[in-house]
């Protein structure tokens, strides 16, 4: 695996391998010294064209726990505001020879595009409303921690599906892992044709009780001014996940940040059914696993400095065992991938 661009390009084995690696890294967080030397001397560049605190800091923490050097580059206040194109920004930053670029942009396909322009491993941290693959991976990880396998589970993704990259990545990832996915929300916020991803579509929460897992999406306030729904009040009365709608056996997820009183009522956020803070925790170990996968395990040698061919997200040979792939905490760092 040379890049992580989308869940669409991953199969179940890829997802399971990354999640398993994250489980091995979870132990690091409990140590007094929360660091392994696996990526010592490697550079991870965070290039963010959209405001983000949790995703960016999660990637930063993940890279630092692997002993990589981290450079943060925010588009605001930079050359981007002086009119520099994405391509020129990437080429300029590439001159510093980052091993990985974590990229968030408001444009679908931008991560894929950047992977053609520079030799670094590209991690898509959100490309427009298209995908946010590390969010989906950490959500799968969180569910496995909570309930084991999700084969056959029913997962409802509720809210503004149209403007959500989290929804798109999760519809794909949950299905890859054997779950049945239903998307539900106001008809104005469910894109025409979404059922072709394999999910069911509902416009009410009448059957929400059939779900094993309820995944609420953030209702962005700016969508309100654009008359996608008549009012937040009406939205909340039809689609808010609250104590009345959530049954005790259901698990509640949310990508954050939560609008209390809009998509979630306060009492469900604070309930033991909610795994929202576990999702945040999972973010660091899953992103460690992604960076490790891209930079330490399966980085294919490059002769010309060019990116791998687009669409070449083929599954590499999986690590044979946990002991092989797991960097020894104190001994020599594992820098080389296992032979295929």
Partner 1 sequence: MSAKQPLIGGLQAPAELLLRDVHALDPRTGLDARRDVRIRNGQVAELAEPGTLETDGEAQTLEGEGRLRLLPAFFDPHVHLRTPGQEHKEDIGSGTRAAAAGGFGAVIAMPNTDPVLDSAPLLRSLRDAAAREARVPVGVLPAITRGLQGEQLTEMAELRQEGALGFTDDGRPVRSAGMLRKALQYQRLCGGVLSLHEEDPTLSREGSMHEGAISAALGIAGIPTVAESTMVARDAALAGYEDARVHFQHVSCADSVEALAAAKARGFRISAEVCPHHLLLTEEDVRGLDTRMKMHPPLATEADRVALVDGLRAGTLDCIATDHAPHAREEKEVPFEQAPMGTTGLETAFAALYTGLVAPGVIGLPLLVERMTAGAALFELPTPSIALGTPANLTLVDLDAEWVAGEDGWESRSENCCFAGRRLQGRVLMTLAAGAIVHRDRALASSQDGELAGAR
Which residues contact partner 1 (rule: CB under 8 A)? 8, 85-87, 105-110, 112-113, 127-131, 164-165, 168, 191-194, 196-197, 310
Nearer to partner 1 (CB atom), residue 192 or residue 249: 192
Nearer to partner 1 (CB atom), residue 74 or residue 108: 108
Nearer to partner 1 (CB atom), residue 87 or residue 302: 87
Contact 274, 283 (CB under 8 A): no
**Maximum alpha-carbon separation in the chain:** 60
Identify the helix (H) or strand (E) that includes residue 168: helix 165-176
State the minimum distance, in angstroms, from the CB of residue 87 to partner 1. Answer: 6
Among 282, 316, 323, 275, CA closest to 17: 316
Nearer to partner 1 (CB atom), residue 197 or residue 315: 197
Q: Would you state the structure tokens that stand for residue 194, as one six-digit string? A: 């979404």
The contacts of residue 28 (CB under 8 Å, 6+ apart) are 34, 35, 36, 65, 285, 288, 329
Give the up-direction half-sphere exposure of residue 50: CA atoms within 13 A in the CB hemisphere: 16
State the minimum distance, in angstroms, from the CB of residue 184 to partner 1. Answer: 15
State the minimum distance, in angstroms, from the CB of residue 60 to partner 1. Answer: 24
Residue 245 and residue 205: Cα distance in Å, rounded? 8
Contact 46, 70 (CB under 8 A): yes
Nearer to partner 1 (CB atom), residue 92 or residue 277: 92
Among 283, 306, 293, 311, CA closest to 109: 311
Nearer to partner 1 (CB atom), residue 196 or residue 321: 196
State the minimum distance, in angstroms, from the CB of residue 106 to partner 1. Answer: 8
State the minimum distance, in angstroms, from the CB of residue 89 to partner 1. Answer: 11
Cα-Cα-Cα-Cα torsion 121, 127, 132, 133, nearest 10 degrees, comes to -30
State the minimum distance, in angstroms, from the CB of residue 199 to partner 1. Answer: 10
Using N-to-C axis directions, what is the helix angle for 165-176 and 12-29, rounded to 10°?
110
């Amino acid at each position: 695996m040379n890049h992580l661009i989308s869940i669409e390009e991953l199969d179940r084995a890829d997802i399971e391998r990354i999640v398993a690696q994250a489980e091995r890294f979870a132990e690091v967080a409990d140590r007094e010294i929360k660091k392994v030397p696996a990526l010592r001397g490697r550079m991870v560049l965070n290039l963010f064209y959209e405001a983000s605190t949790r995703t960016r800091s999660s990637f930063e923490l993940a890279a630092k726990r692997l002993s990589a050097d981290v450079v943060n580059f925010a588009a605001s206040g930079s050359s981007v505001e002086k009119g520099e194109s994405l391509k020129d920004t990437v080429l300029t930053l590439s001159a510093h020879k980052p091993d990985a670029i974590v990229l968030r942009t408001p444009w679908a396909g931008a991560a894929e595009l950047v992977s053609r322009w520079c030799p670094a491993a590209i991690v898509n941290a959100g490309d427009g409303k298209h995908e946010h693959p590390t969010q989906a991976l950490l959500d799968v990880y969180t569910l496995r921690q909570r309930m084991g396998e999700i084969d056959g589970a029913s997962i409802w993704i509720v809210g503004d599906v149209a403007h959500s990259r989290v929804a798109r990545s999760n519809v794909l990832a949950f299905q890859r892992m054997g779950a049945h996915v239903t998307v539900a929300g106001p008809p104005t916020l469910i894109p025409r044709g979404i059922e072709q991803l394999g999910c069911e579509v509902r416009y009410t929460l009448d059957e929400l009780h059939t779900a094993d897992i309820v995944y609420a999406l953030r209702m962005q306030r700016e969508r309100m001014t654009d008359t996608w729904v008549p009012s937040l009040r009406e939205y909340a009365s039809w689609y808010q996940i609250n104590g009345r709608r959530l049954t005790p056996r259901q698990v509640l997820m949310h990508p954050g940040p939560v609008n209390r009183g809009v998509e979630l009522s306060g009492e469900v956020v604070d309930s033991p059914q909610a795994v929202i803070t576990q999702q945040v925790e999972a973010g660091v170990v899953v992103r460690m696993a992604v960076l490790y996968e891209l930079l330490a395990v399966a980085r294919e040698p490059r002769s010309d400095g060019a990116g791998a061919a687009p669409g070449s997200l083929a599954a590499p040979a999986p690590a044979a065992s946990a002991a092989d792939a797991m960097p020894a905490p104190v001994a020599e760092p594992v820098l080389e991938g296992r032979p295929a």
